[in-house]
Structure 1
Amino acid sequence: SDQRRRQGEALEAILALLRGEVVNMTTDWFTLRDARAQLPTYDPAGIEVATASTISPNGSVLAGQHGLSLLSLAASSPMGFEVLDRNWGVYEKACAEHGHVADRSRWRLVNPIFLAETREEAERAVSRRIGSMAAYVNRQTGENPAWADTPKGIIDQWRNENLGEFGQAIIDTPDEAIARIEKLIEKTGGFGTMLVLHVDMASWEDTKRSYELFASEVIPHFKNRNRRREDSLQYAADNRELLIGQLVTAITKAHTDYYGEAAATGA
């Protein structure tokens, strides 16, 4: 289609500029004469470029044709979630056809997330400002739905339906975020990065706390940073009779060796 052709032409020009090339290119909708980027990239390999994908396979095809990273914007929406594995398959096929490698570590998924210690605390934190954010989103679409009349209605809509094209928002606890990400891993077969879509719906202090919880509880879960501690605790629980028995025996022996049999027995 004309749209896909024009997208390809624009990407071709952008990638050449990012590689530091001087570009001369004429199409039916733009012309470049001795075009060049003013600043070089920080990475000798160039700036990573990602192609956005929602529900249709167009983004996957375009990314695969040009060897770009894949950015799944609607990963947490019901329709976007259902096609994640299908769109990755399209991406792999397009990459293979054009001599590129489909690398899962370069696949980014997006989800709106706001966390607090409890679900009730998360709802309290967003209730004051979520109305203005909903009005902003709905104004762009020309909608005035009844659910937008109250903070609870907005929270329920964003949790259970979607936040525009960006999917279902997590307004909850770290455990809920972990469960959602695990579902995404299961559906996709693995991806590289979870991108948190920031929605300005809470105070700065509550927002910072949300990111602290994500960093201290969600990330360590998937990095397995606490796995050995958990294994050690489980071993101690499974073998507490043996370990406590040995501890008591060792303390008694040390006491006896130092003070003598009479002191150890209390005689």
Structure 2
Amino acid sequence: MNQIAQVLTIAGSDSGGGAGIQADLKTFQMRSVFGASVITAVTAQNTLGVSHIHTLPLDSIRAQIRAVAEDFSISACKIGMLGTAEITECVAEMLRNRPFGRLVLDPVMIAKGGAPLLQSDAVAALKRSLLPLADVVTPNLPEAEALTGISISSDADTERAARLLQEAGAQNVVIKGGHSGQSQSSVCRDWVFTPDAHFALESPRMPTPHTHGTGCTFAACITAELAKGADIETAVKLAKQFITAAISQPLNIGHGHGPVNHWAFQTA
């Protein structure tokens, strides 16, 4: 009998259940892979915002990574919220020898409600230490601008930013367009850049506030598909379908930016 694919998320805990570790594990379950987790921070948050952040000691993070590495056969790893430069460097050092296969980096910087989730000095650490390890990096437009220093207002700007991220070491870049000035458009466009090609993925733009956990879920789905053996293009396209379904069929939970619906996309 074939062993089920095993994946890892390294990220923060969301007490509201819509993003971070919780969103990742829900996505892994829906995509039929076994998910392990390493928690970098504990956040007190709900659909209305983040009220408190407690980052874990580096020794605890190292111990969690070692525990997973000692007992599981991880095929792909997703990195989300890191919080500080020290945690970023710690995680990079633990992953330098690539113990967990393919690496998907979601450079989480700001929560849906606007709270900062990555300290400013940690951006440089992320660029220096983690981008060179990433098989895929999945910034939204503001994150791509922060990582590259480019103001993105056109497709040409987007391509230039993606190429800079590739020059910094990321093999494949997905720049998510949900935050763009096209917000008045009926279409949401993401851009995918591989070493050999680039293409856009489009979906209808949904008029809903229930988008909490969108980026986490999208990156987690890519991670799951890579762990099962999909190539980059196939994994990204399926993740786009997964998150489009999750946004288009909202759960209507909470009084603010509610979580996406991880049950919406049922195809195994």
TM category (shorter chain) comes to under 0.3
Q: TM-score, normalised by structure 1?
A: 0.28
Task: Give the structure with higher Rg (CA).
Answer: 1
**Structure number with higher strand proportion:** 2
Q: Normalising by the residue count of structure 2, what TM-score does the alignment of the two structures yield?
A: 0.28
